[in-house]
Copies of this chain bind each other. A is one copy, B any other.
């Protein structure tokens, strides 16, 4: 798994994806045209693609409202949906995608295979990795190239995600202390990914608090260490909220460029750090026995 993270650049998709302008599904015509609302359905390590697209679209002013769907149920009105499922068999994502199609909404799948790849809708197939969460580079860049094709959005296409041992060590220390991860709305997806990696790899349970909302409630009860996230690329109002939090309560601040390269480089270090924490705790970072058990027990 460490190898996966260390070699993340290999999985970056660096050229255009192939998509039709329209397609038929169960006798109905779906057009892949720019829509005001982009729904991104997906759970866990696949769902984070939606979270990060929401962050990126906020920071760079992309011409759609990104709405993340992490449920079986989908009741959105009009728009376009990306359905992201590493395995292609995530029941929530498949159910939400089917609901969108029934409402006449075009859906594009991003997956390694499974049922989603067999639905007969446009599908971007991505290569496998040691685990869904380790396949973020290919899932995220597949989604981004899809958005380039449909909306013409621009983004940086990193060719390397340089590793910095000191950053990894700092993350080991900070996340190992079980912090509250504090981030502004514009970096919310990134913060949740950090939490999720701590959950799945290190088997820890840090929580996330989002600014400015957290200044209206959490701050009053806050205790324990803080991992604060900020960026030169976010609005001044958000940077100020992060700074005020740390001024008042102190905390470790991580500054992340909100570019594709900046996000993936940081998350590569988070992946490596959470694997290191697991190994230091004598835990297997790859295995997720509770998630497996839940899947067995689901009716």
- Contact partners of A21 in chain B: CB under 8 A: none
By the criterion CB–CB under 8 Å, are B70 and A247 in contact? no
By the criterion CB–CB under 8 Å, are A240 and B70 in contact? no
Q: Which of A110-151 contact B (CB under 8 A)?
A: none
By the criterion CB–CB under 8 Å, are A75 and B65 in contact? yes
By the criterion CB–CB under 8 Å, are A200 and B220 in contact? yes
A44 and B220 CA atoms in complex are apart in Å by 12
**A232 at the B interface (CB under 8 A):** no
- Contact partners of A252 in chain B: CB under 8 A: none
Q: What are 22 sample pairs from A and B whose C-beta atoms fall under 8 A apart?
A: A36-B77, A43-B213, A44-B213, A45-B217, A58-B73, A58-B75, A65-B75, A70-B185, A70-B213, A71-B212, A71-B213, A73-B235, A196-B218, A199-B217, A199-B220, A200-B217, A205-B218, A215-B294, A216-B291, A219-B291, A220-B291, A222-B290
- Contact partners of A47 in chain B: CB under 8 A: 213, 216
By the criterion CB–CB under 8 Å, are B37 and A77 in contact? yes
Query: How many chain-A residues does the 8 Å CB contact rule pick out?
Result: 60
By the criterion CB–CB under 8 Å, are A244 and B37 in contact? no
Q: Which of A38-73 contact B (CB under 8 A)?
A: 43-45, 47, 58, 61, 65, 67, 70-73
The answer to whether A212 and B248 touch (CB under 8 A), given A205-B218, A221-B205, is no
Q: For A36, A78, A213, which residue has the most chain B Cβ atoms within 10 angstroms?
A: A213
A203 and B57 CA atoms in complex are apart in Å by 35
By the criterion CB–CB under 8 Å, are B199 and A221 in contact? yes
* Chain B: minimal CB distance from A132 (Å): 9
Interface string of A169-183 (1 = CB under 8 A from B): 000000000001000
A208 and B204 CA atoms in complex are apart in Å by 15
* Chain B: minimal CB distance from A36 (Å): 4
- Contact partners of A73 in chain B: CB under 8 A: 58, 185, 235, 237
By the criterion CB–CB under 8 Å, are A223 and B205 in contact? yes
* Chain B: minimal CB distance from A2 (Å): 18
By the criterion CB–CB under 8 Å, are B205 and A298 in contact? no
* Chain B: minimal CB distance from A197 (Å): 8
Q: Which of A64-102 contact B (CB under 8 A)?
A: 65, 67, 70-73, 75-78, 92
By the criterion CB–CB under 8 Å, are B216 and A44 in contact? yes
